[in-house]
Amino acid sequence: GEDVEQSLFLSVREGDSSVINCTYTDSSSTYLYWYKQEPGAGLQLLTYIFSNMDMKQDQRLTVLLNKKDKHLSLRIADTQTGDSAIYFCADDDTDKLIFGTGTRLQVFP
Amino acid sequence: SQTIHQWPATLVQPVGSPLSLECTVEGTSNPNLYWYRQAAGRGLQLLFYSVGIGQISSEVPQNLSASRPQDRQFILSSKKLLLSDSGFYLCALVGDREYYEQYFGPGTRLTVT
């Protein structure tokens, strides 16, 4: 079956850039997504990228997509303590999304 | 705008007891609805999804079941809870099937003792 994988943890200093990586197996995805989950809450969509794009920028967020390697990344510029959360990448399948395992981002002063 | 309600917010149940978690949505019609479970420190596990009333797809065989008696209501049930059923249960919807943004509810934290 389809699979989406992420590293489990990332720790960065406040003000630095964070890069969260994701690999996926489904070559027929139309969109790929990044979701954010704050403690004790549901997930919120951060951004998404259409599969025929290789980059999307949205304020402090930059999404890079390498379709050949099936690699997706999320870069957060000037990371703040409020960015501490779990970040999930996801790709679309018929009628549902396939989520990665989530990367816990910890931002320290 | 779309809103998802889940209740209860927290629940503590003994092993072997029944379970019923309810999810209702507003601000959309004919959505796809989803039940996920998130165990402590783990990723999301898709349990069930529904593309319409009475239509349920099960992703993981286990002692849970789901029903969709109305367009905007999705229910997760169990006849006998196991310790391994503990977790954070999230309901989600997709209203726009073009780009499949999922909206998540606030979740129910279930502890089975």
Residue with tokens 């402590």: B40
Q: What percent of chain B has pLDDT over 70?
A: 96
Single out the residue of A10, A22, A34, A6 nearest to residue A104, CA to CA: A10
**pLDDT tens across A5-42, in order?**
999 999 999 999 999 999 999 878 888 999 999 988 88
The answer to whether the CB of A84 falls within 8 A of the CB of A14 is no
The answer to whether the CB of A97 falls within 8 A of the CB of A33 is yes
Cα–Cα distance between B12 and B5 in angstroms, integer? Answer: 19
What is the rounded average pLDDT for all residues in chain A?
93
Single out the residue of A38, A37, A4, A44 nearest to residue A21, CA to CA: A4
Single out the residue of B16, B9, B20 nearest to residue B69, CA to CA: B20
Q: List all residues of chain B from 94 to 113 with a beta carbon under 8 Å from chain A.
A: 99-107, 109
The DSSP output letter for B101 is: P
For position A32, what pLDDT does the model report? 92
Sequence length of chain B is 113
Residue A1 pLDDT more than 70?
A: no
Single out the residue of A102, A90, A44, A36 nearest to residue B105, CA to CA: A44
Collapse the DSSP code of A20 into the 3-class scheme (helix H, G, I; strand E, B; otherwise coil) and give the result. strand
CA distance A36 to chain B (A): 11
Q: Collect all residues of chain B within an 8 Å Cβ-Cβ radius of residue A31.
A: 99-100
Residue B81 pLDDT more than 80?
A: yes
CA distance A74 to chain B (A): 17
Whether residue B42 lies within 8 A of chain A, CB to CB, comes out as yes
